[in-house]
């Protein structure tokens, strides 16, 4: 049956909550990298080493939700994606990965359309299991040894004073249409950037006009290097506790690392939000109930150390909808990663409106709570995903659209191209760097 080209708002909401099908490829890269480093650190009698970033999206829901992805294996597997659309939009997305292809030549620039998106075509979707890969094979070969996190599980024996409270009446402060930029402190080869390079990157983000920077975990000395630079440029921090395939037990030490960092500094100044987990339920790294308990555990630890700002988790809208009774009560704000590119019916010129409509839907999932998009953008290189075409021109159109329609509540993905990643599905995973567009 042919679905009419224009659909009503009520139908769009129905499509928005339809069950999603997607899979990550970048996730395994970090999980195995973590396992390799944990093994090495164990020999060195180090309690733990958190080496994750959770910063990549390759597969997504048909309605545009992103998710962390495991890197493409040597024996690539195939997978068909259920694509569908939800609402019309004019904007851009964040920075996931996929198979490489050259970007299409710039089309003639046209004014963004605001017509309703065509009705989605539901296709049968299957996911082939990617072959397992050893930690040694998955780990990158950085130019210099990977740095250990500056703070490990134990807090200082005699803190000078209890960290000052970060309580805010309005938890999030935005800078017009540019709220946040995602950032991973890695070199092009996958190692940890030196503090001097991190300081330069953060200074540039501040110069571009962003009011916050989002981190995914505590690795690569991010708490100290990024936080120090951010505070010197008056940029707020969105800290992350990353949950990998190893589960919550491996993620738990990151809570203490954050508490230790705040205790050592004597304040939580500049910490605007803490995100516990990044699509952990969707990736089956933990159950919704276990995640809710972990978020509550983290909130208690942060509160005891003087933090009173918002703590949340981020999932796909579909996962939040299915588990809203469990996840919404423990989340101070409603958060999701919204990527227009992974909806095969959304064009670059529609990206902004798409993101805005998804934020509206997100607000309805957790009534009474502010909704934020914690990852969004558009790739500059790669293969087309239906109507979603990567390219430098398309990226600029999409990012501008997202900025105009929802930039004040979106974290743009990502600061620069992540050359250390696998190219992934559609060859886009390395090509989400967008700071040059601001």
Decide if pLDDT at 84 tops 70: no
**Distance (Å, whole) CA 251 – CA 294:** 10
Out of 4-18, 35-49, 307-321, 347-361, pick the least confident.
4-18
Position 72 pLDDT exceeds 50: no
Nearest CA among 55, 120, 56, 110 for reference residue 87: 120
409 with 179: CB under 8 angstroms?
Answer: yes
Task: Cite the active site residues.
Answer: 279, 375
Between CA 375 and CA 55 the distance in angstroms is: 9
> Does 36 score more than 80 pLDDT?
no
CA within 13 Å, CB half, 154: 5
Q: Is 246 exposed, middle or buried (0-12, 13-18, 19+ CB in 10 A)?
A: middle
Phi-psi region of 342 (alpha: psi -120 to 50; beta: other; left: phi over 0): alpha
Q: Residue 119's pLDDT band (boundaries 50, 70, 90)?
A: very low
Is 415 a residue whose pLDDT tops 50? Answer: yes
Does residue 204 register a pLDDT over 90? yes
In the predicted structure, residue 314 carries a pLDDT above the cut 80: yes
What per-residue confidence (pLDDT) applies to 110? Answer: 38
Q: Could you tell me which residue, 85 or 350, shows the higher pLDDT? A: 350
Check residues 363 and 267 and name the one with the higher pLDDT: 363
Judged by average pLDDT, the poorest of 89-98, 144-153, 292-301 is 144-153
pLDDT bin (cut points 50, 70, 90) of residue 32 is: low
Reported as a single tens digit per residue, the pLDDT across 152-190 is 233 333 333 445 444 433 457 666 799 999 999 999 999
pLDDT of amino acid 316: 86
User: What's the rounded mean pLDDT across residues 236-250?
Assistant: 97
- Tokens, residue 426: 């559609």
Q: What is the pTM of this model?
A: 0.65
Amino acid 267: pLDDT: 87
- Segment 321-342 shows an average pLDDT of 96
Alpha carbon distance 85, 20 (integer Å): 12
* Interatomic CA distance for residues 156 and 176, integer angstroms: 39
pLDDT the model gives residue 281: 94
Query: What value does the mean pLDDT take over residues 400-417?
Result: 97
70-74, 87-91, 360-364, range with the lowest pLDDT: 87-91
Q: Is the pLDDT of residue 271 over 60?
A: yes
Strand partners, 411: 180
Q: Give the number of residues written for the chain.
A: 438
- Most confident range, picked from 14-18, 80-84, 111-115, 306-310: 306-310
The pLDDT of residue 208 is 96
Q: Is 190 left (phi over 0), alpha (psi -120 to 50) or beta?
A: left
The answer to whether residue 216 scores a pLDDT higher than 60 is: yes
Alpha carbon distances (Å) from 240 to 162, 218, 250, 379: 22, 7, 14, 24
Over pLDDT 90: what percentage of the chain?
56
- As a whole number of angstroms, the distance between CA 330 and CA 155 comes to 25
Q: How confident is the model at residue 89 (pLDDT cuts 50, 70, 90)?
A: very low
Q: What is the pLDDT of residue 93?
A: 37
Q: In this structure, are strands 236-241 and 271-278 parallel, antiparallel, or unpaired?
A: parallel
pLDDT above 70: residue 427:
yes
Kindly report the average pLDDT of the chain as a whole number.
73
């Amino acid at each position: 049956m042919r679905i009419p080209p224009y659909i009503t708002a009520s139908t769009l909401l129905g499509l928005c909550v339809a069950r999603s099908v997607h899979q990550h490829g970048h996730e395994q890269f970090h999980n195995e990298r973590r396992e390799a480093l944990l093994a090495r650190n164990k020999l060195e009698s180090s309690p733990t080493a958190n080496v994750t970033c959770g910063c990549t999206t390759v597969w997504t829901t048909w309605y545009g939700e992103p998710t962390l992805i495991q890197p493409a294996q040597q024996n690539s597997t195939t997978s068909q994606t259920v694509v569908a659309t939800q609402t019309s939009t004019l904007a851009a997305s964040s920075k996931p990965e996929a198979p490489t292809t050259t970007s299409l030549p710039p089309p003639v620039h046209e004014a963004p359309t605001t017509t309703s998106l065509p009705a989605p075509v539901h296709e049968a979707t299957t996911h082939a299991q990617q072959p397992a890969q050893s930690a040694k094979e998955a780990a990158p070969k950085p130019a210099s040894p990977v740095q250990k996190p500056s703070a490990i599980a134990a807090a200082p024996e005699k803190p000078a004073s209890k960290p000052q409270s970060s309580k805010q009446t309005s938890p999030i402060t935005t800078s017009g249409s540019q709220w946040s930029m995602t950032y991973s402190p890695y070199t092009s080869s996958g190692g940890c950037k030196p503090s001097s390079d991190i300081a330069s990157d953060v200074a540039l983000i501040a110069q571009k006009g962003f009011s916050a920077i989002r981190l995914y975990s505590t690795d690569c000395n991010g708490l100290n290097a990024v936080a120090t630079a951010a505070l010197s440029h008056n940029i707020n921090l969105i800290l992350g506790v990353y949950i990998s395939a190893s589960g919550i037990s491996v993620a738990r030490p990151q809570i203490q690392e954050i508490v230790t960092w705040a205790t050592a500094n004597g304040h939580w100044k500049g910490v605007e939000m803490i995100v516990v987990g990044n699509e952990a339920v969707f990736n089956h790294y933990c159950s919704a109930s276990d995640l809710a308990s972990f978020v509550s555990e983290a909130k208690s630890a942060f509160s005891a150390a003087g933090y009173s700002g918002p703590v949340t988790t981020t999932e796909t809208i579909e996962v939040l909808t299915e588990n809203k009774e469990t996840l919404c009560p423990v989340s101070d704000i409603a958060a999701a990663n919204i990527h227009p590119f992974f909806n095969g019916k959304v064009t670059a010129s529609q990206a902004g409106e798409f993101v805005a409509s998804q934020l509206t839907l997100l607000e309805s999932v957790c009534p009474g709570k502010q909704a934020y998009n914690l990852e969004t953008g558009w790739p500059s290189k790669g293969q087309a995903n239906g109507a979603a075409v990567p390219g430098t021109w398309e990226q600029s159109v999409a990012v501008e659209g997202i900025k105009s329609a929802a930039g004040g509540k979106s974290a743009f993905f990502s600061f620069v191209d992540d050359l250390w990643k696998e190219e992934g599905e559609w060859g886009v995973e390395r090509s989400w760097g967008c700071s040059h567009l601001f």
